[in-house]
Amino acid sequence: MASAKTMDAVVVHGPRDYRWESRPVPEVGPGEVLVKVLATGICASDVKTFYGARVWGSDDIPAYIEAPVIPGHEFIGQVVALGEGAGEKYGVQVGDLAVSEQIVPCGRCRFCRRGQYWMCQRHDIYGFKKDRAEGSWAQYMKYPANSLVYKVPSDMRPEVAATIEPLACAIHAVERGDIQLGDVVVIAGMGPIGLFMLQVARMKGPGLLIAVDPKPHRLEVARQLGADLVLDPAAEDAVKAVLDRTDGYGCDVYIEASGAGAAIPQGLQMLRRLGTFVEFSVHAGPVAVDWSVIGDVKELNVHGSHLGPYAYPKAIQYLHTGKVTADPIVTHRLPLRQYLQGIEMVHEGNESIKVVLIPD
């Protein structure tokens, strides 16, 4: 049981208003798990939240952040307390490493009842809902009774285990692409999730796996992790490069993981007729495209991708066995107190790929 009564935590009050505060250590009730946070990642959505992007709401999307709230949805924790029945429910005991899926489904809405829990109507995601789903940028956090919890091997390094969430997202996005043997696959955006997508897509047996990103150091990592071809859209005509290598047809599958508005029309131009477009990123604002290309010209399959449903056990296994590696992706480890520096590093992206925060 955690002996501390209070803990250090980062608390979101609004855009650019993140504060270092003392908060009570959460108390656990029936079915709940209290963990000491060992490592927590900074996601691109955390950066967009900090700078006031669409997660605060817009004309098209209602706000899904409720402040004040402790942010953080990429994490690994060590179990320090279990509510009644939680140990039996999740197969964990005090001292184990445990991760929870990033969404705490209500279990009652239409989507939850159909097994589509990742689209839960209530949609409590850690780090975005005050009181109901407080996040991991703190010394301790609670996994609520409705959460989806998995035991993690004790020999997995915390900074690696903290990438289970982004890898699960990558697995789901690649599965949405329905990659077939021999396909030409383009992944745009070689951030942490894009680099995980690259490794997972390689398992599908593509004929040509192409990574697109304007940052040379990320393209170099992509090459190390299995990309057959890397393209810098700032230095060359990436669309032409893909068409030239496919006899003018275009790629079979295009996965957008950059969050850059220009990556969407780029994908529509790169794709062959009857190709598949997977949209994963959170964009800072609306992006306009010529929808006639999607329908009348190419009859494309357009798939969204959200969170990492049913993918956490695979993500844990892949990282533990080395089938997927996080080592070249986790580039920086910072004390939690340096969260502002970490946000800025991720925002600039000039040296970092994945920044992990370590609570004291």
197 and 98 within one domain: no
184 and 128 within one domain: no
Q: What's the rounded Cα separation, in Å, for the pair 238 and 256?
A: 14
Tens of pLDDT, residue by residue over 58-115, are 555 556 688 899 999 999 999 999 999 999 999 999 999 999 999 999 999 999 999 9
Q: What's the rounded Cα separation, in Å, for the pair 152 and 164?
A: 10
Three-state DSSP string of 271-320:
EEEEEEEEECCCCCCCCCCCHHHHHHHCCCEEEECCCCCCCHHHHHHHHH
Strand partners, 23: 7
295 and 214 within one domain: yes
Looking at residue 3, its pLDDT comes to 61
Q: What's the rounded Cα separation, in Å, for the pair 100 and 165?
A: 9
Provide the 3-class DSSP secondary structure of residue 1: coil
Does residue 278 fall inside a structural domain? Answer: yes
Amino acid letter, residue 66: E
pLDDT value at 207 more than 50: yes
Does residue 68 fall inside a structural domain? Answer: yes
Does residue 318 fall inside a structural domain? Answer: no
**97 contacts 77 by C-beta, under 8 angstroms:** yes
Does residue 119 fall inside a structural domain? Answer: yes
How many whole angstroms from its chain centre is CA 241? 29
Tens of pLDDT, residue by residue over 228-262, are 999 999 999 999 999 999 999 999 999 999 999 99
Residue 320, CA distances (Å) to 63, 158, 258 in order: 36, 12, 27
107 and 194 within one domain: no
Boundary of a domain, candidates 288, 304, 320: 304
Looking at residue 1, its pLDDT comes to 46
Tens of pLDDT, residue by residue over 279-313, are 999 887 889 999 999 999 999 999 999 999 999 99
CATH of residue 236: 3.40.50.720
190 and 131 within one domain: no
Give the residue from 306, 285, 331, 330 showing the smallest Cα distance to 51: 285
174 and 144 within one domain: no
344 and 293 within one domain: no
Provide the 3-class DSSP secondary structure of residue 141: strand
Q: Which long-range CB contacts under 8 A does 288-291 form with residues at least 24 apart? A: 289/264, 289/265, 290/265
* Number of domains composing the chain: 2
157 and 13 within one domain: yes
198 and 56 within one domain: no
268 and 243 within one domain: yes
142 and 30 within one domain: yes
Tens of pLDDT, residue by residue over 255-285, are 999 999 999 999 999 999 999 999 999 887 8
pLDDT value at 55 more than 70: no
Q: What's the rounded Cα separation, in Å, for the pair 138 and 56?
A: 22
137 and 178 within one domain: no
CATH of residue 47: 3.90.180.10
Amino acid letter, residue 158: P
Which pTM does this prediction carry? 0.96
pLDDT value at 54 more than 60: no
Does residue 75 fall inside a structural domain? Answer: yes
**Mean pLDDT of the region 112-133:** 96
- Which of left, alpha, beta for 226 (phi over 0: left; psi -120 to 50: alpha)? left
Mean pLDDT for the chain overall? 95
% of the chain with per-residue pLDDT over 90 = 89
Helices then strands, each counted (H, E), the chain: 12, 17
Range of the domain at 176: 170-304
In sequence order, the 6+-apart residues with CB closer than 8 A to the CB of 326 are 159, 160, 163, 167, 196, 319, 354
Residue 143: CB atoms within 10 Å: 28
Residue 152: CB atoms within 10 Å: 23
Does residue 89 fall inside a structural domain? Answer: yes
In sequence order, the 6+-apart residues with CB closer than 8 A to the CB of 90 are 33, 98, 149, 150, 151
283's tokens: 């964009």
Provide the 3-class DSSP secondary structure of residue 243: helix
Does residue 12 fall inside a structural domain? Answer: yes
Does residue 1 fall inside a structural domain? Answer: no
In sequence order, the 6+-apart residues with CB closer than 8 A to the CB of 19 are 10, 11, 13
